[in-house]
């Protein structure tokens, strides 16, 4: 998931950002060991989102956390109800 390989496309070139959970933090070096949902671990630059705590979810692109991955259900960005019938299915 966090690979950048020539044969399968590059998530970095593709402007893809993935949610990763903070496992350990190295405040001195501004780095955090983070884990993706499929269990891959990598060192992530956290200067743009500090302070972070272990267990938080970050949105990571090119080894840099760009923001926190906010916990919010689908269709929550709407300023008015978008799907009247499907609304109650959203927790």
Residue 24 makes contact with another protein by CB under 8 A: no
Cβ neighbours for 2, distance < 8 A, ≥ 6 positions apart: 11, 18, 36, 40, 42, 60
Contact 65, 46 (CB under 8 A): yes
As measured in angstroms, the least distance from the Cβ of 87 to another protein is 9
Residue 89 makes contact with another protein by CB under 8 A: yes
As measured in angstroms, the least distance from the Cβ of 86 to another protein is 4
In 75-89, which positions are buried (b, 16+ CB within 10 angstroms) versus exposed (e)? eeeeeeeeeeeeeee
Query: Which positions from 52 through 71 interact with another protein, judged by CB under 8 A?
Result: 57, 59, 61-64, 66-67, 69-71
Residue 86 makes contact with another protein by CB under 8 A: yes
Distance separating alpha carbons of residues 60 and 69, to the nearest angstrom = 9
Give the residues lining the site for another protein (CB under 8 A).
2-6, 9-10, 12-17, 19, 37-38, 42-43, 45, 47-49, 57, 59, 61-64, 66-67, 69-79, 82-83, 85-86, 89-90
């Amino acid at each position: 998931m966090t690979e950048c390989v020539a044969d399968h496309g590059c998530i970095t070139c593709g402007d893809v950002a993935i949610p990763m959970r903070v496992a350990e933090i190295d405040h001195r070096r501004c780095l955090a060991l983070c884990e993706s949902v499929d269990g891959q671990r990598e060192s992530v630059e956290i200067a743009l989102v500090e302070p972070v705590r272990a267990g938080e979810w970050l949105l990571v692109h090119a080894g840099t956390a760009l923001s926190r991955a906010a916990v919010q259900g689908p269709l929550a960005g709407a300023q008015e109800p978008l799907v009247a019938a499907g609304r109650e299915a959203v927790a």
